[in-house]
C-alpha cells in the first residue's frame, strides 16, 4: 500500500488509515480485533483513535477504543511499524454536551489538560510514545460537525487557551519524547495559519496534519484549506470519506441496514438532507454505469487529491472493511472524474 509523508516529521502513513470510533459501541472487542488484523494484513500502518471514542460519546464508553487498541497491540506484539494517532478533546458546546465527565468538564487546551490527557492515552494504549497527537477540535467557537454561521470572538469563553499555549505544550512533549509529531483537527484556514506562524516565529516544530471531513458531499476543504495545507505540507487525514456511509448508496430509498450508524443513531443527520440524497443517487448511478463500487469510487476520489495524506476508513464489519480497502488500488478515469465534477457543479457541497 502506498505511503505518504507527513510534512518533515519523517513519519510516513499508509494512504488508507483505520478509523476506530466504532470500537466499543457498534463493534465488540472481538470485532475490533478482527478489523485491526484485517487492516494490518492489507498494509495499513495508520491507526487513528481518540480519548473520546467510541462515538456517540458517553461516559460509560469513554476511552474504550483506546483500551481495545492497546490490548490488541499487546497481544499481537505489533506496536513497532504502526503509526499510532490519537486526540485530545476540546472544549466549547460539544464537550459540555457530553455531561462534564471528561476532566470534570474543564477541557480547555491548556498545558495542564494536555499533559493529563496525554498521560491517560499513553497508559491506555500501552506505549511510551504517540506518533501523532492531535487536537480534536479548537479551543474557540468554530463551525464544526455541520454547524453554520459565524460567532463573534467577543462571545468566546474567557478561559479558552491561546493557540500559543497549546502549541508550546505540544512542542515540549515532543522534545520529551512522548509524542513524535502533532496535528490538528476540525480546523479553519485561520487556525492553520496561526499554528504555522507561531511555529515559525518561535522555532517550534510545525503541525504536520489536519484531520477534517472531506467527501463527495462535502468538498468545502477545497476552499481555503486545500491551498494552505498543500503549500505548507500539512497532510489531510480525511475523515467521513463516505459521508457516514451515505455514498455507498446503502441508505437510498429509505433503507435502514441493520447495525449501520444512521440506523442506530438519530443524531447523525448531517448527510441526510434533500440535496445530499439527490447528489448521492447521482454518484451511485455514475459508479454503477462505470462498473465501479460506489463506496470504492468515493474513497478513490478522496485518496487521489493532491492534498490528501490518508483516507480514514471506519467500518462495522470485516467484509465492509475489506471492500473499502480495495479502493487503495483504484484509479479513476478522466471521464469519471469529469462526471464527478459535473455533479458537484450542479449540487455543490450539499453538506458542508
Q: Are 44 and 14 in contact (CB under 8 A)?
A: yes
Residue 209 backbone dihedrals phi, psi, to 5 degrees:
-150, 160
Q: Are 49 and 85 in contact (CB under 8 A)?
A: yes
Taking the C-alpha atoms of residue 75 and residue 94, their distance in angstroms, rounded to an integer, is 34
Q: Does 251 participate in catalysis according to the annotation?
A: no
Give CA 42 to chain center in angstroms: 20
State the CB neighbour count (10 A cutoff) for residue 339: 19
Overall size of the chain counted in residues: 352
Tell me the DSSP string of 159-218. TPPPHHHHHHHHHHHHHTTSEEEEEEES--HHHHHHHHHHHHHHTPPPP-EEE-B-BTTB
Number of DSSP helices (H) and strands (E) in the chain, helices first? 12, 10
How crowded is the C-beta side of 283, counted as CA atoms within 13 Å?
35
Q: How many CA atoms lie within 13 A of 56 on its CB side?
A: 13
Residue 188 falls in which region: left (phi positive, over 0), alpha (psi -120 to 50) or beta: beta
CB atoms within 10 A of CB 146: 14
Distances in Å between the Cα of 308 and the Cα atoms of 58, 195, 233, 305, 337 are 31, 19, 10, 5, 16
* Backbone angles phi and psi of 86, in degrees to 5: -140, 180
Q: How many CB atoms lie within 10 A of CB 152?
A: 7
Among the listed residues 53, 133, 195, 214, the single catalytic one is 53
* Residues 210 and 192 sit within 8 Å (Cβ to Cβ): yes
Annotated active-site positions, please?
A: 53
Amino acid at each position: 500500500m502506498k505511503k505518504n509523508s507527513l510534512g518533515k516529521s519523517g513519519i510516513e502513513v499508509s494512504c488508507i488509515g483505520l478509523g476506530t470510533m466504532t470500537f466499543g459501541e457498534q463493534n465488540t472487542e472481538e470485532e475490533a480485533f478482527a478489523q485491526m488484523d484485517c487492516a494490518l494484513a492489507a498494509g495499513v500502518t495508520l491507526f487513528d483513535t481518540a480519548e473520546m471514542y467510541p462515538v456517540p460519546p458517553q461516559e460509560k464508553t469513554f476511552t474504550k477504543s483506546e483500551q481495545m487498541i492497546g490490548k490488541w497491540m499487546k497481544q499481537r506484539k505489533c506496536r513497532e511499524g504502526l503509526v499510532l494517532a490519537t486526540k485530545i478533546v476540546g472544549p466549547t458546546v460539544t464537550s459540555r454536551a457530553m455531561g462534564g465527565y471528561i476532566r470534570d468538564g474543564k477541557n480547555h487546551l491548556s498545558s495542564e489538560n494536555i499533559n493529563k490527557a496525554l498521560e491517560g492515552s499513553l497508559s491506555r494504549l500501552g506505549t511510551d510514545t504517540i506518533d501523532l497527537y492531535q487536537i480534536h477540535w479548537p479551543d474557540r467557537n468554530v463551525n464544526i460537525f455541520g454547524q453554520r454561521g459565524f460567532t463573534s470572538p467577543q462571545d468566546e469563553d474567557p478561559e479558552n487557551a491561546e493557540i500559543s499555549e497549546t502549541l508550546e505544550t505540544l512542542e515540549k512533549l515532543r522534545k520529551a519524547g512522548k509524542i513524535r509529531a502533532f496535528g490538528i483537527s476540525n480546523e479553519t484556514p485561520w487556525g492553520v495559519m496561526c499554528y504555522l506562524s507561531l511555529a515559525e516565529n518561535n522555532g517550534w516544530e510545525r503541525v504536520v496534519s489536519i484531520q477534517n471531513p472531506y467527501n463527495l458531499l462535502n468538498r468545502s476543504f477545497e476552499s481555503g484549506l486545500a491551498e494552505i495545507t498543500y503549500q505548507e505540507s500539512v497532510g489531510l487525514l480525511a475523515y467521513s470519506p463516505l459521508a457516514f456511509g451515505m455514498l455507498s448508496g446503502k441508505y437510498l430509498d429509505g433503507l435502514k441496514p441493520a447495525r449501520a450508524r444512521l440506523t442506530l443513531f438519530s443524531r447523525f443527520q448531517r448527510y441526510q438532507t434533500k440535496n445530499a440524497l439527490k447528489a448521492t443517487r447521482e454518484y451511485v448511478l455514475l459508479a454503477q454505469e462505470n462498473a465501479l463500487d460506489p463506496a470504492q469510487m468515493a474513497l478513490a476520489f478522496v485518496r487521489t487529491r493532491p492534498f490528501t495524506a490518508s483516507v480514514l476508513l471506519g467500518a462495522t464489519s470485516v467484509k465492509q472493511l475489506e471492500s473499502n480497502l480495495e479502493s487503495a488500488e483504484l484509479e479513476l478515469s478522466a471521464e469519471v472524474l469529469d462526471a464527478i465534477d459535473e455533479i458537484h457543479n450542479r449540487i455543490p457541497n450539499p453538506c458542508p
